[in-house]
Structure 1
Amino acid sequence: MNGDVPAYGLWFLAALNAGIFILFAFSFFKPNTTRDWRSLGAFSAFIVALFAEMYGFPLTLYLLAGWVGSTVPAFDPLSHDAGHLWPALFGWSMNPHFSPFHLLSYVFIGGGFILIAKAWHVLYTAQRAGELATTGPYAHVRHPQYAGFALIIIGFFLQWPTLVTGLMLPILLVMYWRLAKSEEREVDAAFGEKYRRYASAVPAFLPRPASLLRSSRG
């Protein structure tokens, strides 16, 4: 896991990458309300913290270098690959880009962005018609956009774990849960019994396997 040219102190690259992903999320999410901006802001803070360590200052690697180095002798804390920390933590001597964690991260990140984009289109159409969003992703979960953000930040953590983002991750998940509950109260007040029937049939964040299976067959 050594041999890389030292790849830190690249603050311009850190800012550029953070900006790209934040703008990417903005274009998919299209925030309108204060709650939307809070959701995007929390995601942006996570992204900034992530890329600050990925290209700026590798705080986590410096703190864990001694312990991980004793497990994986080839571990080089100044290499960029070392930031993909999971293989080293498990004592695997392999290209971290082909580890199960890294490959799974692509599924989570890509799936999260797709979910947010599809959910926004359904929600926008329903809001313009003054109706309750119940189709597309909303047929499987009540809060697909929050679920999408959760998938993305979990995916990034699987790809590049740091102590800071590890602390932020559960805080953000709780924040999205609270935002979702606040949103549910507003929708319940607007749609009443219609929303309550919908909420009793559709889970909040995790789809039922049977629901996804029916959708794939359809």
Structure 2
Amino acid sequence: MADAAYGLWPLVVLNTLLFIAFAASFFHPKSKRDWRAMGAYSAFMVALFTEMYGTPLTIYLLGSWLGSQFPLLKDTHAGGHLWNDLTNWQGDPHLSPFHLASYVAIGVGFWLIAAAWRVLHDAAQHDRLATTGLYAHVRHPQYDGFLLIMIGFLLQWPTIPTLIMFPVLVYIYARLARSEEREVAERFGADWEAYAARTPAFWPRWHTRPPAPRSGPPSRPEQHTTARR
């Protein structure tokens, strides 16, 4: 292939394992639900890096169809940055607005996962519901983190498989969140209902200040740590 950009299967394996391990170190999966969330993220990483360094299926398919209109769409590594190709970005693909935005999205995604875990761990240690930090703004910041990392990679290196997978993974995370909330509602009762009523599930309302959590001694461990303690 041109400039030996693909067929680099050791890089596929290395990058896939690296990003999966990095996310796991931030997320600390323990329960079956946690591992399902990690599994969805891992599948996305496998599909992504297989095309990034292994076999560029998307470039083959689109190149044969759009190659005459978009000459940058070719089987070199630079040609895999499809947003750059389709907008005719002429500079370094790693410095394009899409690529720079991807760095921000991926970094913020990992930060969300890590920062949320610290709140969860503290809540479990003190045997209470997590309603502070990121959990004062959304009920599922760690799922938001996973989705933001995927969005970042879609900005950087979109492929047909990952673009198809992304809405499916959004649905999977939404289902995991609903399943988790049903269990939490049974365990925490009125405390959870009050928290859920004032706090959105995924999209924060930054323009309003969330009401302070109800006072009183906690009686249960935090909702997302039921199997992680």
TM-score (norm 2): 0.87
- Partner of residue 215, structure 1: none
Q: Deviations over 1:114-169 (max 9, x none)?
A: 00001011112212322110011101110000010010111111110000111110
% same residue? 58
Report the 3-state secondary structure (helix = DSSP H, G, I; strand = E; otherwise coil) of the residue aligned with 1:35.
Answer: helix
- Partner of residue 43, structure 1: 41
- Partner of residue 205, structure 1: 202
Report the 3-state secondary structure (helix = DSSP H, G, I; strand = E; otherwise coil) of the residue aligned with 2:29.
Answer: coil
Matched residues in 1 for 2:128 and 2:97: separation? Answer: 42
Query: Structure 1 residue 37: deviation in Å?
Result: 0.2
C-alpha root-mean-square deviation of aligned residues, in Å?
1.4
The reply to whether residue 91 of structure 1 matches residue 88 of structure 2 is yes
TM-score (norm 1): 0.91
Among 36, 51, 54, the residue aligned to 1:53: 51
- Partner of residue 144, structure 2: 147
What are the residue-to-residue correspondences of 1:104-183 with 2, within 5 Å?
104-183=101-180
Higher helix share: 1
User: Tell me, which stretches of 5 or more residues in structure 2 are unaligned?
Assistant: 210-229
- Structure 1 residues 42 and 22: CA distance shift in structure 2, 3 A: same
Report the 3-state secondary structure (helix = DSSP H, G, I; strand = E; otherwise coil) of the residue aligned with 1:120.
Answer: helix
Matched residues in 2 for 1:113 and 1:148: separation? Answer: 6
Matched residues in 2 for 1:147 and 1:77: separation? Answer: 33
Matched residues in 2 for 1:127 and 1:195: separation? Answer: 15
**Paired residue type of 1:77:** K
**Paired residue type of 1:42:** A
Report the 3-state secondary structure (helix = DSSP H, G, I; strand = E; otherwise coil) of the residue aligned with 2:23.
Answer: helix
Matched residues in 2 for 1:149 and 1:138: separation? Answer: 16
- Partner of residue 23, structure 1: 21
Matched residues in 1 for 2:121 and 2:207: separation? Answer: 27
Asked if structure 1 preserves the Cα contact closer than 8 Å seen for 2:185 and 2:193, the reply is: yes
Asked if structure 2 preserves the Cα contact closer than 8 Å seen for 1:72 and 1:93, the reply is: no
Asked if structure 2 preserves the Cα contact closer than 8 Å seen for 1:68 and 1:89, the reply is: no
Matched residues in 1 for 2:75 and 2:92: separation? Answer: 16
Among 58, 61, 85, the residue aligned to 1:63: 61
Among 85, 97, 100, the residue aligned to 1:100: 97
Matched residues in 1 for 2:122 and 2:206: separation? Answer: 26
Asked if structure 1 preserves the Cα contact closer than 8 Å seen for 2:59 and 2:73, the reply is: no
Query: Structure 1 residue 76: deviation in Å?
Result: 5.2
Matched residues in 2 for 1:57 and 1:207: separation? Answer: 38
Matched residues in 2 for 1:166 and 1:108: separation? Answer: 16
Matched residues in 1 for 2:17 and 2:113: separation? Answer: 18
Asked if structure 1 preserves the Cα contact closer than 8 Å seen for 2:73 and 2:85, the reply is: no
Q: Which moved more, 1:119-128 or 1:145-154?
A: 119-128
Q: Deviations over 1:143-197 (max 9, x none)?
A: 0000100101111111100001111100001100110011111111111111111
